[in-house]
Amino acid sequence: MSRIGNKIITVPSGVKVQIKDSAVEVQGPKGKLTVAVPRGVQFEQKDSTLVAKRETEEHRALHGLARALVANAVTGVTTGFKKELDIVGVGYRAEVKGKNVVLALGYSHPIEFAIPEGIQIAVDKQTHLVVSGADKGQVGQVTANLRSLRPPDPYKQKGVRITGERLKKKAGKAGVKSAGA
């Protein structure tokens, strides 16, 4: 019995849900999202709630997944999702120029990162980025792409990290004696 798959999704006022054969369209104040529904799982709308139903027991692996994806779409079009990044390092900074984020991350050149459609990036005090949007997966992917431009260094802890991310700091090179001495 899937506990997540059986949870009821409450649809807030101002959100329109259209159920098609292999997709669910959710439209709200923050945008419009289409979620592909796997075969064997259907959604039923009753008043202001959505319920996920599966055809057979073989589809139970996809039952909770489909329900979670639709619930994230409903949350995304109402409140949206956001992730925050910190840039740590001397001279490391970011700024938004038009549809690009220009990052100085210690390389010989600035890095221009194009902001995808449906994503907003705000820069606070040059070292703190806020990535926000309606699609949870896209927000997470853009955050991961920005982090991968300069992942945190395990020795000096410099780089781009997600706010609150715990890092393992490694000890530097210990004083090794040479064999000839």
Tell me the CATH number at 158. 3.90.930.12
Say what the pLDDT of residue 175 is: 65
Q: Provide, for the chain, the percentages of residues in helix, strand and coil under a 3-state DSSP scheme, each rounded to the nearest 5.
A: 20, 40, 45
Q: Tell whether the model's pLDDT for residue 2 goes beyond 80.
A: no
For residue 177, pLDDT over 70 is answered with no
The percent of residues above 70 in pLDDT, for the chain, comes to 95
DSSP state of 115: P
Claim to verify: residue 73 and residue 14 sit in the same structural domain:
yes
Q: Is residue 62 part of a domain?
A: yes
Instruction: Please compute the mean of the pLDDT values over residues 63-74 and round it to a whole number.
Output: 90
Residue 176 domain flag: no
Place of tokens 């980025």: 129
For every residue of 46-106, which 3-state class applies, written as one string? Answer: ECCEEEEEECCHHHHHHHHHHHHHHHHHHHHHHCCEEEEEEEECCCCEEEEECCEEEEECC
In a domain, 181, yes or no: no
| pLDDT interval class at 1 (50, 70, 90) | low
172 in any annotated domain: no
Prediction pTM value: 0.84
Cα separation, 172 vs 47, in Å, equals 62
Q: What is the pLDDT of residues 102-148, one digit of tens each?
A: 999 988 999 999 999 989 999 988 899 999 999 999 999 999 999 99
104 and 156 fall within a common domain = yes
Distance, in Å, from the CA atom of 181 to the CA atom of 168, rounded to the nearest integer, reads: 34
Q: Are residues 88 and 156 in the same domain?
A: yes
> In terms of domains, do 112 and 153 share one?
yes
Residue 174 belongs to a domain:
no
Question: What residues contact 74, with CB distance under 8 A and at least 6 apart?
Answer: 9, 11, 12, 15, 17, 26, 28, 50
Residue 37 inside a domain? The answer is yes
Range of the domain at 90: 81-162
Distance CA 17, CA 52 (A): 14
Over 80: is that where the pLDDT of 180 sits?
no
Does 21 share its domain with 74? Answer: yes
Q: 155 and 94, same structural domain?
A: yes
85 and 154 part of one domain: yes
Statement to judge: residues 66 and 99 lie in one domain: no
Cα distances from 126 to residues 27, 72, 166, in angstroms, run: 34, 30, 22
pLDDT of residue 178: 63
